[in-house]
Structure 1
Amino acid sequence: MSDNGRDHFEIPKFEIPKDMRSMAEASFGQARQAFEKFVSTAQATAGTIEERNASVRAGAKDISSKALAYAEKNVQSSLDYAQSLLKAKDLTEVMKLHSDYVQGQMRALAEQASEMGQIVSRAAMDAVKPKG
């Protein structure tokens, strides 16, 4: 119980029960399929609206397309993160996965905000250009 005169405590191993892991993985699979179906339906709907309304500007189309792409990427990233947590072997791995996920999301959100700002600026400039 002691190691060189010091007490040695073992941290209990963190493990998700096999049945719960299987059930959670199945749920994530269903969530991923539902999300993919939602995205394809949303894209089809957006395309139909744009076809019906010829006055929709290219800038607005770029903004909505980019926003949808960002939403899809962010949800996929969240699903991947949640699924990776199911496979974590211990609390240390859970903490590393969480740290990596948060850092990755912060980078992605900063990039997305920058890109969206550029797209909005271009659309605003195009909207005020004299027709001619």
Structure 2
Amino acid sequence: MADDIKTAMDQGAEQAKAATDQMRAGADKARDAFSEKVVEPAKRAGEAMKESGGKIAEGGATIGKAMIDQAEQNTREAFAAMREAAGAKDLTQVMKIQGDYLREQSQRSMSQAREIGELIMKFGKDAVAPLRGDGTR
């Protein structure tokens, strides 16, 4: 009878160990599935957002520098026109210098606006590329 009890206890222990092993395997499988379905996509999204943020900052700096360069160019052109007008012989020359300056400034403004618009579009595309999964081109 003692042997029967010992055998029954051993069988019970083996069954408990088998059940524990199955539960552990199920838990491992669930953890792996969770990692694959939730954790890894979240990591990739975080990395894409970080890359996108870097591109936005880079684009903002480049656009800011371009705008400062344009303002500097416009100021140089304005002072050049003022110097030329200051050396004019009569009012007709002053009016011609002013008209030429305004025409050139208008063309320059359109060109500068186009340049800034193109930079904004380029950096916008570059900033959203990591979020869409386009990679680094």
Paired residue for 1:117?
117
Q: Secondary structure at the match of 1:129?
A: helix
Equivalent AA in structure 1 for residue 119 of structure 2: I
Deviation at residue 73 of structure 1 after TM alignment: 0.3
Q: Which AA in structure 1 matches 2:125?
A: M
After the TM superposition, which residues 47-86 of structure 1 pair with which residues of structure 2 at under 5 Å, given as runs?
55=54, 57-86=57-86
Q: How does 1:120-131 map to 2 (within 5 A)?
A: 120-130=120-130
State the percentage of identical aligned residues.
32
The DSSP-based 3-state class of the residue aligned with 2:130 is coil
Q: Could you tell me how far apart the structure 2 residues matched to 1:102 and 1:62 are? A: 27
- The residue that corresponds to 2:41 in the other structure is none
SS at match of 1:88: coil
| Aligned match of 2:31 | none
Provide Cα deviations, 1:84-117, integer angstroms capped at 9, x if missing partner. 1110001110111011000000000000000000
Taking structure 1 as the reference length, the TM-score comes to: 0.56
Counterpart-to-counterpart distance in 1, 2:130 and 2:117: 22
- Report the Cα distance in structure 2 between the residues aligned to 1:68 and 1:125, rounded to whole angstroms: 23
Q: Which residue of 1 aligns with 2:19?
A: none
Name the count of aligned residue pairs. 79
Query: 1:61 offset after TM fit, Å?
Result: 1.8
- Report the Cα offset of residue 58 of structure 1: 2.2
Q: Determine if the alignment matches structure 1 residue 98 to structure 2 residue 98.
A: yes
2:88 is matched by which residue type in structure 1?
A
* Structure 2 residue 92 is matched with structure 1 residue 87: no
Deviations 1:47-86 (A, max 9, x none): xxxxxxxx57321121011001001001111111111111
RMSD over equivalenced CA pairs, Å: 1.8
What is the rounded CA distance, in whole Å, between the counterparts of 2:79 and 2:59 in structure 1?
Answer: 30
Q: Provide the rounded CA distance (Å) in 2 between the counterparts of 1:130 and 1:118.
A: 20
C-alpha distance in 2, partners of 1:125/1:69?
A: 23
Tell me which protein shows more helix as a share of its residues.
Answer: 2
Unmatched 5+ stretches in structure 1: 1-54
Q: Tell me what 1:21 maps to.
A: none
Kindly name which structure, 1 or 2, has the bigger radius of gyration based on alpha carbons.
2
How does the TM-score come out when normalised to structure 2?
Answer: 0.54
Q: Equivalent residue for 1:46?
A: none
1:14-29 equivalence runs, <5 A: none
